[in-house]
Amino acid sequence: MTQAVLVTGGAGYIGAHACKALRDAGFLPVTYDNLSNGWRDAVRFGPLVVADLADRAALDAAFAQYRPVAVMHFAALSLVGDAMRDPGRYWRANVLGALNLIEAAVAAGCLDFVFSSTCATYGDQDGVVLDEDSPQRPINSYGKSKRAIEDMLADFGASHGLRSVIFRYFNVAGADPEAEVGEYHQPETHLIPLLLDAIAGNRPALTVFGTDYPTPDGTCIRDYVHVSDLADAHVLGVNWLLDGKGSRVFCLGTGSGFSVREVIEQSRIVTNRDVPVIYGDRRAGDAVALVSGSDRARIELGWAPRRSTMHDMIADAWRWHQTGGFCG
């Protein structure tokens, strides 16, 4: 009998790619999503439960029906600007939702839990390589809520034997190489889909915020990881736990960064089209450079990112972009 994995947020960008990776690895991905930010069309690799994490009865019913061997938790609010404006919404949705989920998992005897965390738990530590031992100093309710969930998992591990793999990752990009699923947000806030929208004529131009940073070309530097490589890491995390290994934290990135101008130039090369650009002022809170140290994931998990070159990330995203995305 195929083993089920409950994937919260499985109708979203990263969650949908994780569901495909789970299916390809021989699992049955069961998407649990309220569809507030996800897309029904993205659920192509297993069943869908339309429900909210606040609904404990729905969670209990999903665990009873599918008897998952593990949970993969992506569902969360994640826009930093919104988190600054309305922190209460983030604490309620992210922390209380995770608490409901964790308690339901424990009650069902499902004690293997993979959690999608974030580099935002590190806060503003500019220009250093961030790894699992870097101090966590989140500066907004998004990062703080994710850090709180990490602490919650540790507490439930100590009291109930819950085992967790926590992934902290940086900028996610690209799309499924076969263009079955991809990145589609409303509104869109990520650099590469905004850039491709501008190339395709769906927006007048890409706005670059700040050209006076102390970097070789004056624009911010970020570490990007391909969404399919990220999904593969999450499957490795499930297998890590099912193999009886203990709770662990892993950072996921490439260990090197690309500036905004480098991403723009790669997009021009991949699409063979000009990129309309507007240059604006810096945004408050934008760090100069954020780069991940991922040696632990490579050595212990055996994670080997195969598509996390900027060329492949843009080419796969452009292929998906040309399909028209999800209708919603």
- Catalytic site residue from 32, 90, 122, 142: 142
DSSP 310: H
- Residue 13, both tokens: 């960008």
Pairing mode, strands 129-130 and 289-292:
parallel
CA atoms within 13 A on the CB side of 193: 19
- Residue 137, both tokens: 């100093």
Cβ-contact 234, 225 below 8 angstroms: no
User: Is position 66 annotated as part of the catalytic site?
Assistant: no
CA atoms within 13 A on the CB side of 295: 6
CA distance 4 to 223: 32
∠ CA 256-262-268, rounded to 5°: 135
Active site residues: 142
